[in-house]
């Protein structure tokens, strides 16, 4: 059956994905006869949608899992989703405020209020909020899964997990209990990051710092019993209400005499000491630091060293509490304004000046965080970090690119304890029960009836839940059924690869390594590939505000998912950034159309090609003797070697570029053109050989391409003659291995020489404006007998590919250059193209003069840019290199144009 003239991915993609699922190809089995290859998906948020970062990372994983599955491994890609506690809280709470979830609330039986006032989670309470969370998950949780399927992800969906599932939750609580029993989890009062909007503690990694234009305020702190005053500088005057000291550097001569004295805290008139501490930066402000241990991490450490009181002035919503005295009840920013007014009124505000500084924001909701003293649950990280550092240092885990190793070590060697408790409801509730009688804490898996310490029944479970990243850290083994001793754990763990973005190397990668080593005594994965971060073509982060977001599902609708996948792969370098535009995806669609049209031509010429079995095809191509057949088979086995090596090294862009170059630049542009006369000829044996080599090359190339562009390759695979296909589906066909017998250095060397000659002729014809249909003579001055032989034996190449008239080739060592004939000089030959009577010489002279003038103008413009120091300093390195390359190209073009004008006797 003849293929349609154009490839239309609509319908094709869903049909073949359904076919693969129904055949069970995605399912990974515990199979002792095969080597396992497992990947666990970085679990997307359950209520998320597929963005371009997801599309990139999951395409990379799918490429590797398809490649290894075809290559004989027992490949299994474990999928799942994350409950994403803070993210879901933010989404649901915003929707509650807008009353957008009333239908879900009615569905779960919540009694809605009669009015339309905004709702908060506190209006629902914990139990109803959790019911709403599950209803929300049921409504929206399937979307990301369907989009991953649309992307082509060949996950084993029978193994799908959700981090709040009963089984996975048991793993999470088991880890908590064991770490607590080992003394690695503790509860303590520490300074933590607090989000007043989410009303929860945050880990250091969940705080995003942004440069902000603020002010630096200089305030007098009067010395007790003196007319003198210490002047301090602060960006947050409202926190002075919690000051318990003023600190200076012990070596600062300006203040050494004041150490041990007392100052009076303005506004509240509290007596506080002047202390000396090396943490003070003498160059900042006045060199005197107000110390607020309850609201600043540096101040907290100073307070610990000097035994200072901690005065917390904020409520959980960042309004002022009773410790703020007359400012009680004010929002923190309103408090700042009132404090400044009062300082001015009392003559204590010396001055204020603009100051740019870094301010921490909640990663999820964007609210400015508040450092607060709070009692929270923590994990002691240093004992867990040491084995994880060793695992990477010893090479048991490999980071690709390798530069991320140093960043990992720097963080791990300076790791701090991890605050794991969150004051939220959607998540894993901490399995700890507090006794109202003895204040003891009982930690265990099952809910206790009595306090473990005093036997009292007056116990209540801790209200907090665990940080989402705590459960995510267990993903590689929790997804395989741990803490049960499952066959999957024995077979698939450790996994082969983790592909992820570098932005979560500390959130997730490091913690998975620590937990895997601690609980299973084994690394969770062997390789970690850090993919680049996607930006727009100007290098800007994609955001709805900028209007530069590229939606994967829109790209699928416009160009097909294979086009998007190939684009992402072609742009996945080992750099930190990937610039992407819709034009890139459109370009990949053109390549897919090239694949389609080449396959269409091949299948039209294979309609009568019959084989009893694939082995017959291999026997047929072994008899191929023509140069073009030997050459394409040699180039194919080279492409196989190259593709395998590049995929194994995670050089995805090079693998894609290599196959693009082989398919378009060698198979289509050269081989198909050269065999067209043979396919249409009357020599049955030669025709069948050409058909066999074509069928074999197409079959193996579809296999090579399949992990990258699975849908179009399956569509074409099913159209191959039955004796050519060596599997029911290309997805389970054996991935090509190099054929040593097809390596043919002589064929490649000879073909390379002929290609250079043909390209030289084509270039001359183009430069001199020879009409495409006009045939010419060709003279080749060969530098060796081998080149002369090649040209004579393959004169039909020039006739077929270079517009040379039949019998129009003259070749030899002493060929004379015809008068005014343009030439091309190669390393092994000179090419002359007689144009007398072929082109209008006067018109060519005019065109060459125009082109020369334009090229000189362009070269002058490029040189001006390259001579501009400001351009060289500000432009990106790749832009400068591009301009330098352009200057070289223009210089060579000008030289050719001048040479051509000399031929015509024109004055250039």
CB 634 within 8 A of CB 742: yes
How confident is the model over 162-215, as pLDDT tens digits?
A: 999 999 999 999 999 999 999 999 999 888 888 888 888 888 878 888 888 899
At residue 907, does pLDDT exceed 70? no
Neighbouring CB atoms inside 10 A of 164's CB total 21
Query: Tell me, what DSSP letter sits at residue 384?
Result: H
Give the max Cα distance, the chain.
Answer: 116
- The set of residues, in sequence order, having a beta carbon less than 8 Å from that of 719 and lying 6+ positions away, is 1, 3, 599, 603
How confident is the model over 670-706, as pLDDT tens digits?
A: 999 999 999 999 999 999 999 999 999 999 999 999 9
Residue closest to 750 by CA, chosen among 696, 703, 708, 792: 792
Question: Binning pLDDT at 50, 70 and 90, where does residue 1 land?
Answer: low
CA–CA gap between residue 32 and residue 98 (Å, rounded) = 55
- Host H or E run for residue 75: strand 74-78
Question: Binning pLDDT at 50, 70 and 90, where does residue 843 land?
Answer: confident
Q: Which of 126-135, 395-404, 539-548 has the lowest mean pLDDT?
A: 539-548
CA–CA gap between residue 489 and residue 657 (Å, rounded) = 37
Instruction: Please give the share of the chain, as a percent, with pLDDT higher than 70.
Output: 99
CA contacts within 13 A on the Cβ side of 464: 21
Residue closest to 240 by CA, chosen among 261, 268, 281: 268
| Residue-level pLDDT at 638 | 97
Distances in whole angstroms, Cα of residue 664 to Cα of each of 184, 563, 626, 677, 744: 59, 16, 21, 20, 21
Question: Binning pLDDT at 50, 70 and 90, where does residue 418 land?
Answer: very high
At residue 535, does pLDDT exceed 80? yes
CA–CA gap between residue 128 and residue 426 (Å, rounded) = 11
| Residue-level pLDDT at 62 | 98
CB 83 within 8 A of CB 32: no
State the DSSP string of 692-707. HHHHHHHHHHHHHHTT
Neighbouring CB atoms inside 10 A of 327's CB total 22
Whether the link from the prior residue into 494 is cis, omega within 30° of 0, is yes
Average pLDDT score over residue span 383-412: 96
Average pLDDT score over residue span 628-650: 98
At residue 644, does pLDDT exceed 80? yes
| Residue-level pLDDT at 906 | 54
Average pLDDT score over residue span 587-610: 95
Distances in whole angstroms, Cα of residue 342 to Cα of each of 268, 326, 339, 349, 534: 11, 11, 5, 9, 49
| Residue-level pLDDT at 547 | 80
Residue closest to 204 by CA, chosen among 418, 515, 389: 418
| Residue-level pLDDT at 732 | 97
Residue closest to 371 by CA, chosen among 202, 209, 244, 210: 202
| Residue-level pLDDT at 905 | 63
What are the φ and ψ backbone dihedral angles of 217, each rounded to 5 degrees? Answer: -105, 130
CB 116 within 8 A of CB 99: yes
Question: Binning pLDDT at 50, 70 and 90, where does residue 288 land?
Answer: very high
CA–CA gap between residue 31 and residue 158 (Å, rounded) = 17
| Cα 20 to chain centroid, rounded | 27
How confident is the model over 761-771, as pLDDT tens digits?
A: 999 999 888 99
Instruction: Please give the share of the chain, as a percent, with pLDDT higher than 90.
Output: 78
| Cα 71 to chain centroid, rounded | 25
How confident is the model over 324-347, as pLDDT tens digits?
A: 999 999 999 999 999 999 999 999
CA–CA gap between residue 503 and residue 53 (Å, rounded) = 12
List Cβ<8 Å contacts ≥24 apart for 727-733.
728/23, 729/19, 729/20, 729/23, 729/25, 730/702, 730/703, 730/706, 731/20, 731/25, 731/66, 731/69, 731/70, 731/154, 731/706, 732/25, 732/69, 732/70, 733/70, 733/703, 733/706
Q: Which of 38-47, 74-83, 202-211, 271-280 has the lowest mean pLDDT?
A: 202-211
Q: Report the DSSP beta bridge partners of residue 174.
A: none
What are the φ and ψ backbone dihedral angles of 705, each rounded to 5 degrees? Answer: -80, -20
Confidence (pTM) = 0.87
3-class SS at 127? helix
Average pLDDT score over residue span 651-657: 97
CB 392 within 8 A of CB 408: yes
CA–CA gap between residue 808 and residue 776 (Å, rounded) = 7
Of 172 and 823, the one with more pLDDT: 172
CA–CA gap between residue 190 and residue 177 (Å, rounded) = 21
- Host H or E run for residue 178: helix 166-181
CA–CA gap between residue 308 and residue 350 (Å, rounded) = 27
CA–CA gap between residue 819 and residue 903 (Å, rounded) = 8
- The set of residues, in sequence order, having a beta carbon less than 8 Å from that of 701 and lying 6+ positions away, is 636, 639, 659, 662, 663, 667
| Residue-level pLDDT at 11 | 85
Tokens (6 digits) for 148: 């991953």
| Residue-level pLDDT at 207 | 84
**Average pLDDT of the chain, as a whole number:** 93
CB 231 within 8 A of CB 286: yes
At residue 804, does pLDDT exceed 90? yes
User: Under the phi-then-psi rule, with left for phi > 0, alpha for psi from -120 to 50, and beta for the rest, what region is 818?
Assistant: beta
CA–CA gap between residue 380 and residue 420 (Å, rounded) = 11
Alpha helices in 485-626 (DSSP H): 487-492, 510-520, 552-559, 561-570, 582-604, 614-621
| Cα 607 to chain centroid, rounded | 43
CB 780 within 8 A of CB 811: yes
CB 217 within 8 A of CB 340: yes
At residue 908, does pLDDT exceed 80? no
Residue closest to 582 by CA, chosen among 555, 547, 542, 544: 555
Residue closest to 579 by CA, chosen among 534, 541, 530, 532: 534
């Amino acid at each position: 059956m003849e293929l349609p003239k154009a490839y239309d991915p609509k319908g094709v993609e869903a049909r073949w994905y359904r076919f693969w699922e129904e055949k069970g190809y995605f399912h990974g089995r515990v199979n002792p006869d095969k080597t396992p290859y497992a990947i666990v998906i970085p679990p997307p948020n359950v209520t998320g949608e597929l963005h371009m970062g997801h599309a990139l990372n999951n395409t990379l994983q799918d490429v590797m899992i398809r490649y290894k599955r075809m290559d004989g491994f027992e490949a299994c890609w474990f999928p799942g989703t994350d409950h994403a506690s803070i993210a879901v809280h933010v989404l649901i709470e915003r929707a509650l405020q807008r009353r957008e979830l009333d239908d879900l609330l009615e569905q779960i039986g919540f009694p809605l209020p009669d009015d339309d006032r905004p709702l908060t989670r506190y209006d629902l309470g914990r139990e109803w909020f959790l019911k709403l969370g599950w209803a929300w998950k049921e409504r929206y949780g399937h979307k990301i899964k369907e989009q991953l399927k649309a992307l082509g992800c060949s996950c084993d969906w029978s193994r799908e997990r959700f981090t709040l599932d009963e089984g996975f939750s048991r793993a999470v609580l088991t880890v908590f209990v064991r770490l607590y029993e080992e003394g690695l989890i503790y509860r303590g009062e520490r300074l933590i990051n607090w989000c007043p909007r989410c009303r929860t503690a945050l880990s250091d990694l969940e705080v995003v710092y942004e440069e902000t234009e603020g002010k630096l305020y200089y305030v007098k702190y009067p010395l007790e019993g003196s007319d003198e005053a210490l002047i301090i500088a602060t960006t947050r005057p409202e926190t002075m209400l919690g000051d318990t000291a003023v600190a200076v550097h012990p070596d600062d001569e300006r203040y050494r005499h004041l150490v041990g004295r007392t100052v009076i805290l303005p506004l509240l008139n509290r007596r506080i000491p002047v202390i000396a501490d090396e943490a003070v930066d003498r160059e900042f402000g006045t060199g005197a630091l107000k110390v607020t241990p309850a609201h600043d991490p540096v101040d907290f450490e100073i307070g610990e060293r000097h035994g200072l009181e901690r005065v917390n002035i904020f409520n959980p919503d960042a309004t002022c509490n009773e410790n703020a005295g007359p400012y009680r009840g004010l929002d923190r920013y309103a408090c700042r304004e009132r404090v400044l007014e009062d300082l001015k009124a009392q003559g204590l505000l010396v001055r204020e000046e603009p100051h740019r500084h870094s301010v921490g924001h909640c990663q999820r909701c964007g609210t400015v965080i508040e450092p607060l003293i709070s009692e929270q649950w923590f994990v002691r990280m240093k004992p867990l970090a040491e084995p994880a550092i060793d695992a990477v240092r010893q090479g048991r885990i490999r980071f690709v690119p390798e530069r991320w190793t140093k960043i990992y070590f720097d963080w791990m060697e300076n790791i701090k304890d991890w605050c794991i408790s969150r004051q939220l409801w959607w998540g894993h509730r901490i399995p700890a029960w507090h006794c109202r009688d003895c204040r003891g804490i009982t930690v265990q898996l099952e809910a206790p009836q009595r306090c473990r310490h005093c036997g009292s029944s007056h116990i209540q479970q801790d209200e907090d839940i665990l940080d989402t990243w705590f459960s995510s850290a267990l993903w590689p083994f929790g997804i395989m059924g741990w803490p049960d001793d499952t066959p999957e754990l024995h077979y698939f763990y450790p996994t082969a690869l983790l592909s992820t973005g570098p932005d979560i190397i500390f959130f997730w990668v490091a913690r998975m390594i620590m937990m895997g080593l601690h609980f299973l005594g084994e690394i969770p994965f062997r390789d970690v590939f850090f993919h680049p971060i996607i930006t727009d073509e100007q290098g800007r982060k994609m955001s709805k505000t900028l209007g530069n977001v590229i939606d994967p599902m829109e790209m699928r609708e416009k160009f097909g998912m294979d086009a998007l996948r190939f684009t992402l792969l072609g742009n996945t370098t080992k750099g930190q950034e990937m610039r992407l535009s819709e034009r890139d995806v459109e370009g990949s669609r053109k390549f897919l159309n090239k694949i389609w049209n080449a396959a269409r031509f091949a299948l039209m010429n294979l309609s009568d090609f019959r084989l009893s079995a694939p082995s017959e095809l291999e026997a047929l191509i072994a008899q191929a003797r023509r140069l073009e057949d030997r050459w394409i088979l040699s180039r194919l086995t080279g492409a196989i070697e190259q593709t395998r090596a590049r995929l194994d090294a995670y050089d995805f862009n090079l693998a894609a570029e290599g196959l693009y170059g082989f398919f378009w630049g060698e198979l289509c542009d050269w081989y198909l053109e050269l065999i067209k006369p043979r396919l249409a000829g009357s020599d049955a044996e030669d025709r069948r050989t050409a058909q066999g080599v074509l069928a074999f090359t197409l079959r193996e190339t579809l296999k090579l391409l399949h992990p990258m562009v699975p849908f179009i390759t399956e569509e074409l695979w099913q159209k191959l003659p039955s004796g050519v296909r060596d599997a029911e589906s290309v997805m389970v066909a054996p991935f090509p291995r190099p054929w040593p017998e097809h390596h043919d250095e002589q064929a490649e060397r000879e073909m390379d020489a002929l290609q250079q000659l043909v390209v030289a002729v084509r270039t001359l014809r183009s430069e001199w404006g020879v009409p495409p249909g006009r045939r010419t003579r060709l003279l080749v001055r060969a530098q060796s007998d081998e080149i002369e032989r090649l040209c004579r034996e393959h004169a039909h190449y020039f006739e077929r590919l270079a517009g040379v008239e039949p019998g129009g080739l003259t070749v030899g060592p002493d060929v004379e250059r015809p008068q005014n004939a343009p030439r091309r000089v190669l390393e092994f030959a000179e090419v002359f193209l007689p144009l007398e009577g072929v082109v209008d010489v006067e018109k060519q002279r005019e065109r060459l003069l125009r082109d020369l003038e334009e090229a000189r103008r362009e070269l002058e413009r490029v040189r001006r840019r390259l001579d501009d120091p400001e351009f060289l300093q500000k432009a990106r390195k790749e832009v400068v290199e591009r301009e330098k390359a352009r200057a070289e190209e223009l210089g060579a073009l000008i030289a050719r144009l001048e040479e051509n004008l000399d031929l015509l006797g024109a004055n250039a």
